Amino acid sequence: MTGTIKKLNKIITNKYMALIEQRERVNFISILGSDATLRKVVPEGTTGAVTRTYELKDGTTGSKVEKIYESVSGKITDIKFADTEFGTLLQVTLTDPDEFLKAEPEVLSMNTSTDFAKDFMKKLPNIDLEKEVTVRPFNFIPEGKTASLKGLTVIQDGKKVDKAFYDVEKKTSTMGYPEADAKLKDEKNEMKRKEGWKRFFKDCEIFLVDYTTENSVSKFDKGMVEETLDEEVKTPDDF
C-alpha cells in the first residue's frame, strides 16, 4: 500500500510540475471597405465600441461589436498568407516597438483580391522592415473621375511610401509586373473586354502574392503559406 501511495504522489507531482507558457494575445484588424476604417472585434460593452450588422451570402444577417480606428502603427514583425473559406488573406503583424509599455501585436488582415491588399503589396518593397510604419486606409473618388480609389497610405520616417513596380517617367511596369495587352485596351466587345480585364487583374494579384511570398514572407521565420480556418482570423472588408 505504501508503495502505491508513493507512486500516486509521484504521478500527481509530475502532473502539476509541467508549466505551460501563456500564449501572447494577438488582435486581428480588418478593413471596412465602404468607409475605409480599421475595425477590431471587441467584447460587448467595451467603451467606444459600436455594433455593426451585415448581410451574409445566404441572405441572413450577422452582427459584430467593433472598435473603429483611423490608422495602426508599429514595426512589421511578420507577414504571411492564410488560406481561408473567405479566400486568401494577407496578414501583416504590427508590433509596438516600445519595450516598456509594449502593447499587444495587431494583425492587419486583408483579402488579397482587394485594392487595400494589392496597394500594400505594391508598396512593400519600398518599406524598411527595420523601422516603424503607420498604415491608414483610404477610399475616395478623385476629382473628374467616377470610380473610387482605394488603398493604404503607408507612412515611414514622416514620408509616404511610394509604390514599386512602375517607372513614372517611362510610364511602364517594372520588376516583372504584368502589362495589359494592347489589344485589350482597344477591345470593342463588352464581354471580351470585361473578362479580359478580370483576367488581367487576377494575374496582377497572383504576381503580387508570389513576389511578396518570395521577397518579404521569406524574410520571416514562420514559413511561406499557412492553411487555416481559425475562428480568430477575421473576415476581410464588409463582412
Q: In the chain, what are the domain boundaries?
A: 27-37+70-227
What does the pLDDT read at residue 239?
Answer: 44
Q: Which portions of the chain are predicted below pLDDT 50?
A: 2, 5, 8, 10-16, 222-239
User: Cα Rg for the chain, rounded, in angstroms?
Assistant: 23
The per-residue pLDDT for 231 is 46
Do 137 and 128 form a contact (C-beta atoms < 8 A)?
Answer: no
Look at residue 197 and give its three-state secondary structure.
Answer: helix
Per the listing, cell 451585415 goes with: 54
Structure confidence at residue 218 (pLDDT):
87
At residue 229, the pLDDT reads: 42
Q: Which residues are CB-neighbours of 106 under 8 A, at least 6 positions away? A: 26, 27, 29, 40, 72, 74, 93, 94, 95
Q: Where are the beta strands (DSSP E) in the chain?
A: 27-32, 37-41, 50-55, 61-69, 72-84, 87-95, 106-111, 132-140, 149-156, 159-160, 166-167, 172-173, 225-227
**pLDDT value at residue 13:** 46
